[in-house]
Structure 1
């Protein structure tokens, strides 16, 4: 029903108007509107990938096939990854054949010695950076006692991370649309999995193909369930000075989706973290922590970083609008920890804020040229116990407030760029505002930077705010909780979107958060997803089903049949929008959250984070609000639960910065 209507919306006129996708509010309910018509806010998220190939302990032949999604006649590369964990792998007789012509794209039996191996293969990382792998050609180890390639993997020294060690074969010729067969002999001790994939190399690698195609399959399942919106990860080209941006990988990602569903409406998830070369060239703009080793990131408050990031975002959006004007529905810029705009390593023991750019930005924000960032010792101390002492720790709270506003103002600036680059015709989607979820942070909720949600709600350029389902109480029989003050989001005319990254029965032992609480059977998977959809329906939330790790989590038409089954309810609520304002109101205060001291989670965790699970078992629905909505008379609940009402008269906020 939606797909047919959408086709009419997009192409029913001889001269179609430009595609316009917005969030509009009717009867207090924000909805996605496509060319003036409200549509259901259901989305699929995933990226192209390949199916892992089992390598047997006893040794034997392996044959897999794939179809090339893109053309690369000279520089295609074949990548072989073996995962983490010590062990030995033996390979032999590796051949890639183009099925329509019989042409051998690649072939080796490893019998031509070290020179032949070096001619055909490269290793990455190389030299001292390779701390886990040793390769050798060993007679008698291959198929039928011939020479085989022996790969010995061992754990990296100490507590170092496993590098992404892999073999790759460059300079291959692959043709788009052709079917290829990969055959090899392999043995692994212990048994493990091989990740085999083909790419076009460049600043950003383009996935050409590999065994299995969960991505396209899930896009087609979504389309069959009348879910045309597709979210997917892409890198943002960020060229060095004097170089041109290369958008080929971005274009290829869009083309892959549109090949699976020509009517798909795309909202790419755009990475805005500064590349390593930029951080090396701008060391004062790189984050500094109180200790420990951390993944390098730029200081969010740095005007130098912001200008570069917003420029890259603007150019990417304008490129995509010119290249795919009738297929792009919106843009979702991401960065910092897991791309969700909370400070990198928020959940860790160290504190950020010690780069020269932090000090400069703090002084500019405060208006005090002599302002100082509180020391780690001051921030780790808690002389007043759970809460900061206003008499002696005002500077700590002030710096904490600065970090919230810096993050909120930057995501608002991103949304403004999207609106400017699309002439206001496309959605801006932002991760922000986890005001309940971050009550569990040991060093204090506000180390996250997510406690200036009101600034984001007041930003006219943000359409959709989003987060995953809470990682607390998401198991079978749990509440399936929301991370934010969702009803305050709706009161502000924004749409809240829930990222449903429930681990389905199709994958196991992923290592991702929420893995243990996932489902091991199809029936349990359906039960969890149906519970989550019921929450989203009644509270007027959008959602995307997330193939986290691009491993085919939702590659089952039965699951999508459940998504299709709720379409009549979606349509009913589109036709008769009804705001969700139950009699019970859960209220959290952003300003008070800034006053939790280090280790204040002994109070913030039960009061804010865990309390939602108890509320979900009341036997009655509850809404989630910000305290300033309560103070303004916008919360209609008859029973109001105040989770952290420690500060009742917050200081006036600093004014929003001018547009860039």
Structure 2
């Protein structure tokens, strides 16, 4: 054990020495005083940062002036599904990184010594989908268009099961990283936030428009391979599915009627509907495999010197949009927790409980399990304060400065007490352009730094345990279970004692031994 720690320390020292020589920062997440912390060139960092969809020099300058020195911005290594960045892959063997360069340099114009953490959106440009029509995600009605909502007009998406698409993403990520590291701003980039799926948050295509995926050729082939890996023989598959004619070679994705059925109340009967349970689990595995594969590609390309993260694990929140959990792709939490290529995970704070006074701050996932596995949780603080005039009511907009100040204090308390990082999401710009708000945020930045030297270990004596796989046993459009989780959160948040959120797998593996009460 001592030898292993010595070698790790020696490796970090050598990497930092290399960094100082080459001006390439070495970033990692590692244990510090009982919890995972971001380190940049061997120094702990609070991971307090900012993100925006509308880059403006004036916003960057005022946020840099209050001490924020980690900035995130949208870009793409190929094509963003949402219009928050320009296409980089503009044709076969044609690439355009001019917007990426402009956005990175704009941040550094405001603050030359700041660090950069680009959010890299990956999907597939229209010309690529035209060349590879079989790789396009197909929905249960036979269509291949993600229906219009929010920022998306009817649009095609690549099947996440497509090996051809995955290979193109990895190649384009590598090409983009080569470009970045050849630029003057490359020495300020500490990592990459890989984003895809619905709302960039790795929910499977069609999820928020209530479209069931994925009936594409790659989707069917991958499902059959997944079944073969799980059951090994056709005989076992036939027994479990209760279908004498089932084979790995002929198994199909369950149709919408199968996936929407409920056998006993809200539940599927695994004796009758195991094919649906299997498909729900498969869909999440496909999402998790994409995240892992792309993260590993970035780690290999950067020789492990950059942090990599993703949105994932919204088990406690998905029902906020009145969508069901089973087809979301977010059930494979335990799988991603154990992936060494991933350093951080993120979600917004819960949307379901934001009002001042009656609301509360809570994350969307089982964050203690992430922490126990050495993953930094990054809170996307997208609270719509009094300057967010373009906010939608369902996102919790408040109308006064005092309410805005109070909400940010409440959110900070949740972040600090759970050892999380955070970015203030200046979504459309100008959300923080008020002297009192900026003064408060400056104090918060300092508190984040002070918190680095405090014990990060949890003091909770209560554990709330959730099985991420259990929603696979629900009908695809069943929301009662999901809404129940949403409502339970208020009870947990207001019962007056600290609590930890764990996966059932982690609890059964012994991570729950310290608790006096388990829910």
Scaled by the length of structure 2, what TM-score is found?
0.85
The structural deviation recorded for 1:623 is 1.5
Q: Does 1:304 align with 2:164?
A: yes
Label 1:242 to 1:598 Cα distance change in 2 as closer, same or farther (>3 A): closer
Residue by residue over 1:284-322, the C-alpha shift from the partner in whole angstroms, topping out at 9 and shown as x without a partner, is 111111247523111111111111111111211221122
Label 1:246 to 1:603 Cα distance change in 2 as closer, same or farther (>3 A): closer
Q: Could you tell me how far apart the structure 2 residues matched to 1:629 and 1:581 are?
A: 18
Q: Could you tell me how far apart the structure 2 residues matched to 1:381 and 1:218 are?
A: 50
SS in 1 for 2:272: coil
Tell me the equivalent position of 1:313.
173
SS in 1 for 2:263: coil
The structural deviation recorded for 1:41 is 1.4
Q: Could you tell me how far apart the structure 1 residues matched to 2:258 and 2:322 are?
A: 16
- Alignment check: 8 A CA contact 1:443 1:598 kept: no
Q: Give runs of ≥4 in structure 1 deviating > 6 Å.
A: none
Label 1:580 to 1:225 Cα distance change in 2 as closer, same or farther (>3 A): farther
Residue by residue over 1:84-106, the C-alpha shift from the partner in whole angstroms, topping out at 9 and shown as x without a partner, is xxxxxxxxxxxxxxxxxxxxxxx
The structural deviation recorded for 1:444 is 3.2
- Alignment check: 8 A CA contact 1:28 1:491 kept: no
Q: Does 1:232 align with 2:73?
A: yes
- Alignment check: 8 A CA contact 1:442 1:598 kept: no
Trace 1:530-609 onto structure 2 (pairs within 5 A).
530-548=409-427, 550-606=428-484, 608-609=485-486
Tell me the equivalent position of 1:382.
262
Q: Does 1:39 align with 2:42?
A: no
Tell me the equivalent position of 1:629.
506
Q: Which has the higher contact order (CA 8 A, sep 6+)?
A: 2
- Asked which structure has the greater CA Rg, the reply is 1
Q: Does 1:614 align with 2:480?
A: no
Residue by residue over 1:469-508, the C-alpha shift from the partner in whole angstroms, topping out at 9 and shown as x without a partner, is 1111012121122100001000000000110111111122
Q: Could you tell me how far apart the structure 1 residues matched to 2:301 and 2:449 are?
A: 31
Q: Which has the higher strand share?
A: 1
Q: Which runs of 5+ in 1 are unaligned?
A: 1-9, 50-214, 642-660
Residue by residue over 1:385-423, the C-alpha shift from the partner in whole angstroms, topping out at 9 and shown as x without a partner, is 211101110111111111111100110111111111211
Tell me the equivalent position of 2:25.
19
Q: Could you tell me how far apart the structure 2 residues matched to 1:263 and 1:488 are?
A: 34
Q: 1:266 aligns with which of 105, 116, 120?
A: 116
The structural deviation recorded for 1:383 is 2.5
Q: CA RMSD in A?
A: 2.2
Q: 1:444 aligns with which of 324, 342, 347?
A: 324
Q: Which runs of 5+ in 2 are unaligned?
A: 1-15, 79-87, 147-154, 229-247
Residue-pair matches, total: 463
- Alignment check: 8 A CA contact 1:265 1:328 kept: yes
Q: Could you tell me how far apart the structure 1 residues matched to 2:435 and 2:72 are?
A: 19
- Alignment check: 8 A CA contact 2:90 2:125 kept: no
Q: Could you tell me how far apart the structure 1 residues matched to 2:224 and 2:394 are?
A: 37
Q: Could you tell me how far apart the structure 1 residues matched to 2:105 and 2:452 are?
A: 31
Residue by residue over 1:317-339, the C-alpha shift from the partner in whole angstroms, topping out at 9 and shown as x without a partner, is 22112213311011112111011
Q: Could you tell me how far apart the structure 2 residues matched to 1:512 and 1:273 are?
A: 29
Tell me the equivalent position of 1:419.
299
SS in 2 for 1:337: coil
The structural deviation recorded for 1:466 is 0.2
- Alignment check: 8 A CA contact 2:90 2:96 kept: no
SS in 1 for 2:249: coil
Trace 1:133-172 onto structure 2 (pairs within 5 A).
none
Tell me the equivalent position of 1:326.
187
Trace 1:390-469 onto structure 2 (pairs within 5 A).
390-439=270-319, 444-469=324-349
- Alignment check: 8 A CA contact 2:426 2:432 kept: yes
Tell me the equivalent position of 1:66.
none
Q: Could you tell me how far apart the structure 2 residues matched to 1:598 and 1:220 are?
A: 46
Q: 1:284 aligns with which of 126, 134, 139?
A: 134
Q: 2:104 aligns with which of 231, 243, 254?
A: 254
- Alignment check: 8 A CA contact 1:474 1:481 kept: no
Q: Could you tell me how far apart the structure 2 residues matched to 1:27 and 1:575 are?
A: 7
Tell me the equivalent position of 2:218.
357
Label 1:616 to 1:315 Cα distance change in 2 as closer, same or farther (>3 A): same
Q: Could you tell me how far apart the structure 2 residues matched to 1:476 and 1:358 are?
A: 44
